[in-house]
């Protein structure tokens, strides 16, 4: 009935079983927020590594042209 029937689910964050909607991924708002924070931190690390790699490449190109 409109996607609101209860289904046996497993939380993608903590692994606990729960009853939820067909499209539910997390057992609670706490798990949903924790998953979001983990994704956000991972993206921040990836972005900072990309900036660092870009700077290192620029330094290598600059020093390689002078040598």
pLDDT digits (tens, 9 = 90+) for 31-48: 999 999 999 999 888 777
Average pLDDT value for residue range 38-63 = 79
What pLDDT, on the 0 to 100 scale, is given for residue 67?
44
What pLDDT, on the 0 to 100 scale, is given for residue 5?
67
CA distances from 16 to 12, 26, 29, 53 (A): 8, 9, 14, 39
Cα 65 from Cα 62, distance rounded (Å)? 5
What pLDDT, on the 0 to 100 scale, is given for residue 56?
73
Domain boundaries defined on the chain: 1-50
What one-character DSSP code corresponds to residue 23? T
Cα 32 from Cα 23, distance rounded (Å)? 13
Residue 1's pLDDT band (boundaries 50, 70, 90)? Answer: very low
Cα 24 to chain centroid distance, Å, stands at: 17
The pair of structure tokens assigned to 60 is 């290598």
Task: Record the pTM.
Answer: 0.61
């Amino acid at each position: 009935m409109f996607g609101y029937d209860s289904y046996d689910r497993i939380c993608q964050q903590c692994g606990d079983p729960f009853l939820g909607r067909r499209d539910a991924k997390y057992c609670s708002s706490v798990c949903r927020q924790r998953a979001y924070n983990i994704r956000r931190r991972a993206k921040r690390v990836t972005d900072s590594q990309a900036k660092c790699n870009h700077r290192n490449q620029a330094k290598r190109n600059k020093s390689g042209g002078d040598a």
